[in-house]
Structure 1
């Protein structure tokens, strides 16, 4: 997968993970929250959250506070996590599908008391007084099973606090604003402030596992079960993908068939009800598991594209079969389906990115290097699903931005802002970053910056005036970034420090992670945590992004990479020096 998507570098996080639809009509979910007979909650909290990877929830798309437990949430159609909780009660969550076909989704929610460990060795109080930092929490004293804190000078009356039991680390949130994250080994407790003392009584909480529940009625009542099956498929996909590395074409074909069979079984189990979601998974996951990739792999060996070999593969029968399969899947997409969030789009858009590496072979096959982009743009014209339409435009616009096709990219990015203003790429500011990136053209003055390196030294771009500077915007979390590091290290050793300076700026990283990575990989050039102001100034929308700056502080080249990085930079420098000499003679 990485080979064919070698230029589909990591997008700004969170752009494609928001899967709630953005159609114009609103839909709703209503129901009732109940609590144990011996416990009455003052308020119940319930919200809808976009489905995303991991346990954490993002900002709710719809949220309600209820005194009697009844609720009605209005939102745009799409796939969501429905979550409910109350102080002192375990939270519950379930993935649901909300549609706009006039059917009101109904959910009956049952909450149970929070659980405490049977064996309690310590209880601490955490709150505003210590910035909700568990490391600064205050110890409580055990008095026959009741843990008390009598010295309350640091506490503020009528404020919220929480208990930390047995030093279990956990996030703490204001339940009115954000979800209280709870699971089997992480529990938070809301205290009661009384007469200047705080008391934690284990008798107020359950000590046996008793999980609450959500029961959804209606046409899509089995959606969570479907998603459980898709989770199992994703697990199988990851295992199979790992087995494919270094495997023969025969093994790759076998693994491809196993995954296809699994999706067939899921589709059959749910009688085709979620056929569009199965189809989207088939496109997103299996396109880059196709056996033809084994023929493609050698073309990208060593980080240098062998365009002749790639062209031979594209001209071959196996690639023709791959294209026929992909085209057939795309023809089955219902562009008006409310279930689709566009997650498969970036996979298809990436195919054009490697077709462009062998334009002659593509032309001989009767194709165009934007073959799949045209198909996606046709979908965008027909769809009423705004999330799908926005994702199509952003995927294509981002690739054009990365390739610095300024006029084409700008037209598409501006179209997103006008036609899909609620798309996550717009609301999260990524389209604006991409537009800013288009202004960072060759010859533009590179924005100045000053940072502190991971070793504590001061680093200013202006200090390197009179040298060439290579800036790498990267992250330890970014696979393509990590694969480029050896090439950058090789290049840094090739040039003298007086000639060229390499600078690494990481984003979405911690100081500890970067220090460890730099030390482990013997990275010789300075690195720093890149401030958001710097990434905005340079219009960073993908990682890695690189800039080569000339002696006068102007951008000489962008996005140089690969196994021939040193050669590319030598050519850029030689051309710049020749131009400078020629102008000097004039």
Structure 2
């Protein structure tokens, strides 16, 4: 079933439970229907979830369209327009909730759950600052602060947190082994189509700058060693590779706040992060900048 997040604070909330009887495969089954009301906190969070649901519905529309809409530019276009409109509505909803309810626990939760992955650090910090001291000191406010601090550790200008993982041959490799080189830290996985589509770009940059001291360390979010190794060989990725083989539970992906792959960031000779969210032409541009005299 679906999980309902209930925010409990000092405001009394009313939980209305009623037993509903349904027929299921000829048997009468009882289930409990709950309705929560009476707290602005619940209402705020509900507003957010409904907005999210609209986004999901449009995404579902896209996936169902798949083949049917391939040749039909008009349908694709109108779905695209709808998606942009829904996305824009989500942004507006979040902005108005943050502006209008700085003294609500739900607001801190919304920033932590829905904003951190999608917006820049400066904007997130500004939202955090607008919360009241009461909320900043409460559990959800403190949790949000921890998320922001973690984000800072892996944002541009910070020293990239060191880590050690295992290479395909079983040896341990650390990011600090690359100190003095310019390193592309590349999060990927053998099952990730967009990662493999990015490979020609990455190779082009590697071939151009490897001779000058450019290295790549690819951190895979695979969980099966065979899949990982065969993807490296099949795609001829002849640079550094490591993995915890724990899939999304990879501690390094968590350390770097990676919520989707591919995710690439550039680390300079001093070990500082100089660029993030690198893809395509931007990758070439940012690496080239490091080698300009």
Q: TM-score, normalised by structure 1?
A: 0.37
CA contact (8 A) 2:22 2:29 kept: yes
Residue of structure 2 in register with 1:106 after alignment: 19
Q: What is the aligned counterpart of 2:219 among 505, 517, 522? A: 505
- Aligned positions, number: 263
Q: Once the two structures are superposed, what CA deviation does each residue of 1:361-415 show, in whole Å capped at 9, x if it has no partner?
A: xxxxxxxxxx963442213536999768733564333323xx4x34x32343575
Q: What is the aligned counterpart of 1:373 among 87, 91, 102? A: 91
Q: What is the aligned counterpart of 1:215 among 30, 43, 46? A: 30
Residue of structure 2 in register with 1:21 after alignment: 5
Deviation at 1:105, TM superposition (A): 2.5
Higher RCO (CA < 8 A, seq sep 6+): 2
Distance, in Å, in 2 between the alignment partners of 1:560 and 1:232 is 29
Distance 1:482 1:411, change over 3 A: farther
Residue of structure 2 in register with 1:493 after alignment: 207
Distance, in Å, in 2 between the alignment partners of 1:439 and 1:218 is 44
Deviation at 1:211, TM superposition (A): 9.4
CA contact (8 A) 2:189 2:261 kept: yes
CA contact (8 A) 1:398 1:409 kept: no
Q: TM-score, normalised by structure 2?
A: 0.66
Deviation at 1:549, TM superposition (A): 1.8
Distance, in Å, in 1 between the alignment partners of 2:113 and 2:231 is 32
CA contact (8 A) 1:22 1:387 kept: no
Which residues in structure 2 correspond to 1:185-584 (within 5 Å)?
A: 214-216=29-31, 238-245=63-70, 247-252=71-76, 289-290=79-80, 292=81, 326=85, 348=87, 351=88, 373-380=91-98, 381=100, 390-391=109-110, 394-400=113-119, 403=120, 405-406=121-122, 408-412=123-127, 415=131, 418=136, 421=139, 426=143, 432-478=146-192, 480-497=194-211, 499-507=213-221, 509-530=223-244, 532-574=250-292, 578=293
Q: Which runs of 5+ in 1 are unaligned?
A: 1-16, 27-99, 112-209, 221-230, 257-288, 294-321, 327-346, 352-370, 579-586
Deviation at 1:422, TM superposition (A): 5.6
Distance 1:520 1:555, change over 3 A: same
Distance, in Å, in 2 between the alignment partners of 1:474 and 1:507 is 6
Deviation at 1:240, TM superposition (A): 0.8
Residue of structure 2 in register with 1:35 after alignment: none
CA contact (8 A) 1:433 1:540 kept: no
Residue of structure 1 in register with 2:41 after alignment: none
Of Structure 1 and Structure 2, which has the larger fraction of its residues in helix? 2
Distance 1:18 1:383, change over 3 A: farther
CA contact (8 A) 1:475 1:543 kept: yes
Q: Which runs of 5+ in 2 are unaligned?
A: 36-55
Deviation at 1:110, TM superposition (A): 11
Deviation at 1:480, TM superposition (A): 4.6
Distance, in Å, in 1 between the alignment partners of 2:153 and 2:110 is 23
Distance, in Å, in 1 between the alignment partners of 2:103 and 2:3 is 15
CA contact (8 A) 2:17 2:32 kept: no
SS in 1 for 2:285: helix
Distance, in Å, in 1 between the alignment partners of 2:58 and 2:30 is 24
Q: Once the two structures are superposed, what CA deviation does each residue of 1:449-480 show, in whole Å capped at 9, x if it has no partner?
A: 33221243442333323321111123345555
CA contact (8 A) 2:187 2:218 kept: yes
